[in-house]
Chain A
């Protein structure tokens, strides 16, 4: 045991030294190749849309297809009315501004620094934009740069993700060179979150229940 009063080596150094000593018998080797997890099949846009929709619905997500931004605005207004949503929190993104342009200003609350989470918890739904969509799992890859944007994905009881068809990728490997590049950027902060359906648990008797802590509903607005 090291003598506490005369620490000559930090824990960091002690750990690293121990590792190096114990691994001294290991011969250096190249890192293994990155395996092809799924082959790229060059899926068409229509095929990807169809796949995305069926996978999303398989994980209890909802899809709203929109022919254009105008159509999307109308469908969002309808969705809010049907669901009786009074307030929509939204991430500051151009597509979110476009989408909510027709909504009364008091219905939309924009993510800002220092936004009180208690206030955010009272929102009816949170609107975020996906950077990429993964067709084979029905996933939306959302870029959250600030804490408030992160909370917008988890606090409100419903989550709306907006994206355009051209953001669809066949699967995770197909999107990964873009994702990896974005992750490696030196000034990248916050998180990427891959959202695949609403929040869920099976911790009680392995019975699936939605909306444990995160949103109970996930709606993806997919614009052509």
Chain B
């Protein structure tokens, strides 16, 4: 697994993003957009009287799917192979990248058009393409924007949530040589024209998959822009990258999931285009790459299995106060927000990502909106326990010493008195030290020093007792 772009050090979040935690205008664009998404999506779900029944039904189907993953994957492979697709299995991101490049080389591919796929972000596929000298263009507008800006996406559904129209105007001016504009229609038209050229000349198209249907061997993909429709039908080759947990047992469940996903994902009754791709289209070639990349590791921990039921709707991000404030990059890897906090530690290792489950107030807003009822706060607490029991940055020598000292200080009245005297002295001294030391600065910059506490209750009680004698 490539960890070049990981920034999960001991202190929570990327140092550059910590600003957003205490500077009110640090990430206003993210906050506003996430708030708007929440309002829109909630109004569409609140309009459904039996919304909670839908959630329960979806939860049951997804739990069944995870519990029968091997059988369903084999069934899916059999049925989509019978429809002319070639199915490949990749244990790791590196293996998947090799497979994609291999396919591209075999077919003399020089240009690739990509539909949105979070799995390919895990793989960092675009870097592999770059290294292989193959031009790869993201066609989802939000992904295209962050690709041009050489940034990572900040949200799994609206990747360019953090960019204002003016930012986009400047980006197009700089990277595409287009005259500056802040007008949404015009900016979109620019993107349409540039990407048209790419669609019409690419030799390979890629997509993810929202639901891989086992009993019919079908790829169900939802989108609004039409870029998936184009990416998968203009070029001669279609490569679909799918996380193994995306498999659904039967096409019979699709109406539930399609309507669920559209509502919580984008506040719509249905997306503009919902594709049911029946294997290979005559005259073209379809490759399906099933990716593990640590998902089987999640299965080892029964309490964590529910995190594999996620349908990647992004709703937990929208409602999360921490995500809104700190932004998507603060989570250091592909998946931000509550879902990121519960799956990143599994996929890249607790030893690297243990800090994420701690970056939450456990308010529970996420689990209230999750369409498949993942118990995210419980998952977070479970991971916190694992983080202090297993080797992780939350279990460092400093942590252990600190807690031992604290336990010592709390375990007797005289020790407690001594500790509190030290605290009072410390607060008095701190007034003369106006600097914000290193990592502690993240904590001190956003806070005022407390007033020096007056006499302790104990000593006042002692004085009263003396007086009353």
- Evaluate whether A191 and B139 lie within 8 angstroms (CB atoms) in the complex, with A203-B158, A211-B192, A213-B199 already known: no
Q: Can you report 24 residue pairs joining A to B where beta carbons are below 8 Å apart?
A: A15-B290, A19-B244, A23-B70, A29-B64, A31-B64, A32-B60, A35-B54, A176-B254, A184-B216, A193-B276, A197-B272, A199-B273, A200-B225, A201-B188, A203-B142, A204-B187, A205-B165, A207-B184, A212-B225, A213-B139, A213-B192, A213-B199, A213-B226, A213-B230
Contact with B along A187-210 (1 / 0, CB 8 A): 011111111111111111111010
Residue in chain A with minimal CB distance to B215: A184
**Contact for A23 among B61, B67, B225, CB less than 8 A:** B67
Q: Is the CB of A16 within 8 A of B229?
A: no
- Evaluate whether A29 and B67 lie within 8 angstroms (CB atoms) in the complex, with A147-B284, A180-B252, A199-B272 already known: yes
Tell me whether A105 is interfacial, beta carbon within 8 Å. no
Q: Return B37 CB to nearest CB of chain A, in Å.
A: 7
Q: Return B180 CB to nearest CB of chain A, in Å.
A: 14
Q: Return B71 CB to nearest CB of chain A, in Å.
A: 9
- Evaluate whether A150 and B255 lie within 8 angstroms (CB atoms) in the complex, with A183-B278, A196-B269, A206-B33 already known: no
Tell me whether B296 is interfacial, beta carbon within 8 Å. yes
Q: Is the CB of B70 within 8 A of A20?
A: yes
Across the A-B interface, give the 9 residue pairs with the lowest CB-CB distance, nearest first: A214-B226, A22-B299, A203-B142, A35-B57, A12-B89, A32-B60, A154-B229, A194-B274, A199-B226
Q: Is the CB of A15 within 8 A of B272?
A: no
Tell me whether A40 is interfacial, beta carbon within 8 Å. no
**Contact for B184 among A18, A193, A205, CB less than 8 A:** A205
Total inter-chain residue pairs, C-beta < 8 Å:
238
Contact with A along B120-136 (1 / 0, CB 8 A): 00000000000000000
Distance of A217 Cα from B142 Cα, bound (Å) = 22
**Contact for A139 among B142, B216, B270, CB less than 8 A:** B270
Q: Is the CB of A189 within 8 A of B281?
A: yes
Q: Which range holds the interface residue count of chain B? A: 35 or more
**Contact for B230 among A35, A196, A201, A214, CB less than 8 A:** A214
A-side interface residues toward B, CB under 8 Å? Answer: 10-12, 14-16, 18-20, 22-23, 25-26, 29, 31-32, 34-35, 37, 55, 59, 113, 117-118, 121, 136-137, 139, 145-147, 150-151, 153-155, 172-173, 176, 179-180, 183-184, 186, 188-207, 209, 211-215
Distance of A37 Cα from B69 Cα, bound (Å) = 24
> What B residues does A203 contact at CB under 8 A?
140-142, 145, 158-160
Q: Is the CB of B277 within 8 A of A191?
A: yes
Q: Return A172 CB to nearest CB of chain B, in Å.
A: 4
Q: Is the CB of B255 within 8 A of A183?
A: no
Contact with A along B231-270 (1 / 0, CB 8 A): 0111000000000100001111111101100000010111
> What A residues does B277 contact at CB under 8 A?
191
Distance of A26 Cα from B153 Cα, bound (Å) = 37
Distance of A154 Cα from B196 Cα, bound (Å) = 11
Residue in chain A with minimal CB distance to B65: A31
Distance of A128 Cα from B233 Cα, bound (Å) = 16
Task: Give 13 new A-B contacts, CB below 8 A, not counting A153-B229, A188-B278, A202-B224.
Answer: A11-B292, A19-B69, A19-B73, A117-B199, A146-B283, A172-B259, A189-B278, A192-B278, A193-B275, A194-B258, A195-B272, A206-B36, A212-B225
